[in-house]
Amino acid sequence: MEQLIGVVVFLILGYGFGTHYEKKHYKSILKRERRHSKRPAVNMKSVPLEGREIESSALAVGSTVVSVDYFKRFLAGLKMVFGGRLTSYESLLDRARREALLRMKEDAKDADIFLNVRIETSSISKGQGEKSVGSIEAVAYATAVKFRNKV
């Protein structure tokens, strides 16, 4: 009985803290995305210059690791038994990708555009069973280009 109570308490705490921090992280992401909205990140390898001259270019990289909370792990475990989309993990991937892109843009503060953007994701886990720690890593990289004369 004590073990069942312990699991329920962990689920409630995982849900509460996980939801709080996820909402807080999304607010931070939205605020920073608005600030960087005039600096596009595209997967094109080149951009039409249209009267612009390239002043400099460099590699820009951003990475992040987002941990899975206890509640999401529990929900994913149920979904794996019964089948279906792992929506609890989809928000982790979304946050990790967006955060990696923002960190890439922050890595090259003076760039006007980011070309040939690539995002790599991987899962990181340590341990087995209930004591395992699961995380999602996302790395974004691109060529950061600064123009000499802006249109």
DSSP H helical segments within the chain, as ranges? 2-35, 70-82, 87-107
Q: Tell me what pLDDT residue 104 has.
A: 98
Rg of the chain's alpha carbons, rounded to an integer? 20
Q: Classify burial at 40, counting beta carbons within 10 Å of its beta carbon; exposed 0-12, middle 13-18, buried 19 or more.
A: middle
Domain ranges (residues) in the chain: 2-147
- Residues of 71-98 as b/e, b for ≥16 C-beta within 10 angstroms? bbbbbbeeeeeeeeeeebbeebeebbbb
What tokens appear for 37 in the block? 């909205």
Topology (CATH) of 2-147: Translation Initiation Factor IF3 (3.30.110)
CB distance 137 to 124 below 8 Å: yes
Written as one letter, the residue type at 28 is S
- Point out the residues of the chain with pLDDT beneath 50: none
Q: Tell me what pLDDT residue 8 has.
A: 78
Report the alpha-carbon distance of residue 61 to residue 114 in Å, rounded.
11
Is this model's pTM higher than 0.95 or not? no
pLDDT in tens, 12-43: 777 777 788 889 999 999 999 999 999 999 99
Report the alpha-carbon distance of residue 127 to residue 134 in Å, rounded.
9
Q: Tell me what pLDDT residue 150 has.
A: 62
Q: Tell me what pLDDT residue 60 has.
A: 98
